């Protein structure tokens, strides 16, 4: 196996297997063939680079918009980005987005009839510091119905997008709340 393949297929004690036949999603989505490495181009290796002037500290607060404060339980979400060797990763661009306290996204395709909060923008971004730390100020998002099955509700969650040294190095994931009744 290549170095990349070795890193992607870590021991099962570290990660769940990519293919788990009892779970329908992995049967449909897991790779059936070996990985194909695509050569990196110069732009993917050298940039983009985000600096302190590109992302401002005000962009990490979702609770103040249009001259007022957002409705909902104010929370601070913080953490640290670490690499596969458990070392802090500085200057990582982190973008987050979420629904408001009523479970509504500020997005034209969100048809859930919950009210929009004019003082909550629902998006933020920041860069990790020299130790890989980050922090966002937001409100606890609300749950909302979704079409998975009859009367299904999506638990409260926050979407995360982390960019590595290039746009091709991106992780998109979600953070849930352990006390959520739908979790």
Backbone angles phi, psi at 123, to 5 degrees: -140, 150
* Whole-number Å distance between alpha carbons of 72 and 123: 15
Q: Which residues of the chain have pLDDT under 50?
A: 1-2
Q: Are 100 and 142 in contact (CB under 8 A)?
A: yes
For residues 11, 86, 160, 70, the Cα torsion angle rounded to the nearest 10 degrees is 140
Instruction: For residue range 158-170, list pLDDT tens digits in order.
Output: 999 998 776 678 8
| Residue 127 confidence (pLDDT) | 92
| Residue 20 confidence (pLDDT) | 73
Specify the 3-state DSSP secondary structure of 59.
helix
Residue numbers annotated as active site: 105, 144, 154, 157, 159
Cα angle for residues 5, 11, 159 (degrees, 5° grid): 80
pTM: 0.74
What domains, with CATH codes, occur in the chain? 1-37 (no CATH), 47-176 (2.60.130.10)
| Residue 54 confidence (pLDDT) | 81
């Amino acid at each position: 196996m290549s170095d990349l393949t070795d890193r992607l297929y870590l021991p099962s004690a570290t990660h769940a297997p990519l293919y788990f036949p009892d779970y329908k999603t992995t049967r449909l989505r897991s790779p059936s063939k070996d990985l194909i490495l695509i050569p990196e181009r110069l732009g993917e290796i050298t940039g983009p680079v985000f600096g302190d002037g590109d992302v401002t500290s005000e962009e990490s607060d979702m609770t103040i918009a249009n001259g007022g404060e957002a409705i909902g339980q104010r929370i601070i979400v913080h953490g640290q980005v670490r690499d596969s060797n458990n070392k802090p990763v500085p200057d990582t661009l982190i973008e987050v987005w979420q629904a408001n306290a009523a479970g509504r996204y500020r997005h034209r395709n969100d048809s859930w009839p919950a009210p929009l909060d004019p003082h909550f923008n629902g998006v933020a971004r920041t860069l990790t510091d020299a130790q890989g730390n980050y922090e966002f100020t937001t409100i606890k998002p609300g749950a909302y119905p979704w079409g998975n099955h009859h009367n299904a509700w999506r638990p409260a969650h926050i979407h995360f997008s982390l960019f590595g040294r290039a746009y091709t190095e991106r992780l998109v994931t979600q953070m849930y709340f352990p006390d959520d009744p739908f979790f």
